[in-house]
Chains A and B, each alone.
Chain A
Amino acid sequence: MAFLEIMDLSVAYQRNVTVLRNLNLAVERGSFLSLLGPSGCGKTTTLKTLAGFLSPISGRIIVNGRDYTKIPAHKRNMGIVFQNYALFPHLNVFENIAFGLKMRHMSKSEIEEKVKKSIDLVGLSGLEHRLPSQLSGGQQQRVGIARAIVIEPDLLLMDEPLSNLDANLRTEMRNEIRRIQQSLGITTVYVTHDQSEAVALSDQIAVMNFGKIVQLGTPRDVFSNPKTRFVANFMGFQEVAAGYVEGLQDGYAVIKMEGRSLTARTTTKLAIGEKVILCARAKKMQIDTQNGENRFWVKVVSKIFQGDSISIVLKVPSGRTINVEIETSKLENFAQGDEVFLYIPKEHLLAIKEEEK
Chain B
Amino acid sequence: MKINRWLIFSLVIAFIILLGPFLVIFFASFEPSSTLRFPPTGFTLSWFKKVIAMPMFQKSFVFSLQLALYSSFLSLLLGVPVAYVTARYDFKGKRLVEFATTLPVIIPGMVAGLALLRFFVLLNVFSVQTTLLIGHTAIVLPYVVRSTLASLVNLPVSVEEAAQSLGASPLKSFFLVVLPNIRVGIISAFIMTFITSFNNVPISLFLTGPGVNTLPIVMMTYMEYYYNPSIAALSTLLIGATLAVVLLVQKIFGISKLL
CB closest residue in chain A, given B166: A100
* Residues in B whose Cβ lies below 8 Å from that of A76: 165
Most chain-A Cβ atoms within 10 A of its Cβ — which of B156, B164, B168?
B164
In whole angstroms, how far apart are the Cα atoms of A89 and B177 in the complex?
9
Distance between B90 CB and nearest chain A CB, rounded to angstroms:
9
List CB contacts (< 8 Å) of B164-205 with chain A: 164-170, 172-173, 176-177, 180-181
Contact bitstring A47-78, B, C-beta under 8 A = 1, else 0? 00001110000000000000000001111111
Say yes or no: A151-B167 contact (C-beta < 8 A), given A80-B162, A86-B158, A88-B162: yes
The answer to whether B163 has its CB under 8 Å from any CB of chain A is yes
In whole angstroms, how far apart are the Cα atoms of A75 and B165 in the complex?
8
Say yes or no: A74-B167 contact (C-beta < 8 A), given A53-B161, A86-B158, A86-B159: yes
Query: Are the C-beta atoms of B156 and A86 separated by less than 8 Å?
Result: yes
Distance between B175 CB and nearest chain A CB, rounded to angstroms:
12
A90 interface neighbour in B162, B169, B172, B181, Cβ under 8 Å: B181
Chain A interface residue number, banded = 20 to 34
CB closest residue in chain B, given A78: B165
Query: Are the C-beta atoms of B161 and A104 separated by less than 8 Å?
Result: no
Query: Are the C-beta atoms of B161 and A80 separated by less than 8 Å?
Result: yes
* Residues in B whose Cβ lies below 8 Å from that of A84: 156, 158
The answer to whether A243 has its CB under 8 Å from any CB of chain B is no
Query: Are the C-beta atoms of A86 and B181 separated by less than 8 Å?
Result: no
* Residues in B whose Cβ lies below 8 Å from that of A147: 162, 166
* Residues in B whose Cβ lies below 8 Å from that of A78: 165
Query: Are the C-beta atoms of B159 and A74 separated by less than 8 Å?
Result: no
Say yes or no: A90-B164 contact (C-beta < 8 A), given A74-B169, A82-B158, A84-B158: no
Query: Are the C-beta atoms of A51 and B161 separated by less than 8 Å?
Result: yes
The answer to whether A184 has its CB under 8 Å from any CB of chain B is no
Query: Are the C-beta atoms of A88 and B159 separated by less than 8 Å?
Result: yes
The answer to whether A99 has its CB under 8 Å from any CB of chain B is yes
Query: Are the C-beta atoms of A103 and B159 separated by less than 8 Å?
Result: no
Say yes or no: A100-B167 contact (C-beta < 8 A), given A89-B181, A90-B180, A90-B181: yes
Distance between A49 CB and nearest chain B CB, rounded to angstroms:
13
In whole angstroms, how far apart are the Cα atoms of A336 and B163 in the complex?
59
In whole angstroms, how far apart are the Cα atoms of A99 and B170 in the complex?
15
In whole angstroms, how far apart are the Cα atoms of A36 and B170 in the complex?
30
The answer to whether A79 has its CB under 8 Å from any CB of chain B is yes
The answer to whether A9 has its CB under 8 Å from any CB of chain B is no
Distance between B74 CB and nearest chain A CB, rounded to angstroms:
26
CB closest residue in chain B, given A151: B166
B159 interface neighbour in A73, A79, A89, Cβ under 8 Å: A89
In whole angstroms, how far apart are the Cα atoms of A353 and B172 in the complex?
53
Query: Are the C-beta atoms of B159 and A87 separated by less than 8 Å?
Result: yes
* Residues in A whose Cβ lies below 8 Å from that of B163: 88, 99
In whole angstroms, how far apart are the Cα atoms of A79 and B168 in the complex?
13
Distance between A53 CB and nearest chain B CB, rounded to angstroms:
6
* Residues in B whose Cβ lies below 8 Å from that of A157: 165
Most chain-B Cβ atoms within 10 A of its Cβ — which of A77, A86, A89, A148?
A86
Query: Are the C-beta atoms of A74 and B170 separated by less than 8 Å?
Result: yes
In whole angstroms, how far apart are the Cα atoms of A99 and B165 in the complex?
11
In whole angstroms, how far apart are the Cα atoms of A90 and B170 in the complex?
18
List CB contacts (< 8 Å) of A202-250 with chain B: none
CB closest residue in chain A, given B177: A88
Say yes or no: A82-B162 contact (C-beta < 8 A), given A88-B177, A89-B181, A90-B181: yes
Query: Are the C-beta atoms of A74 and B164 separated by less than 8 Å?
Result: yes
Distance between B187 CB and nearest chain A CB, rounded to angstroms:
14
Distance between A168 CB and nearest chain B CB, rounded to angstroms:
25
In whole angstroms, how far apart are the Cα atoms of A53 and B161 in the complex?
7
Say yes or no: A103-B162 contact (C-beta < 8 A), given A86-B156, A90-B181, A151-B167: no
Footprint of B on A, CB under 8 Å?
Answer: 51-53, 72-80, 82-84, 86-90, 99-100, 103-104, 147-148, 151, 157
Residue contacts A-B, CB under 8 angstroms, 14 given: A72-B164, A73-B165, A74-B165, A74-B166, A74-B169, A74-B172, A80-B162, A80-B165, A82-B158, A82-B161, A84-B158, A90-B180, A100-B166, A103-B168
Footprint of A on B, CB under 8 Å?
Answer: 155-156, 158-159, 161-170, 172-173, 176-177, 180-181
Q: Apart from A73-B165, A147-B166, A148-B165, what are 20 other A-B pairs with CB-CB below 8 Å?
A: A51-B161, A52-B165, A73-B161, A74-B166, A76-B165, A78-B165, A79-B166, A80-B161, A80-B162, A80-B165, A82-B158, A86-B159, A86-B162, A87-B159, A88-B162, A88-B163, A100-B167, A103-B168, A151-B167, A157-B165
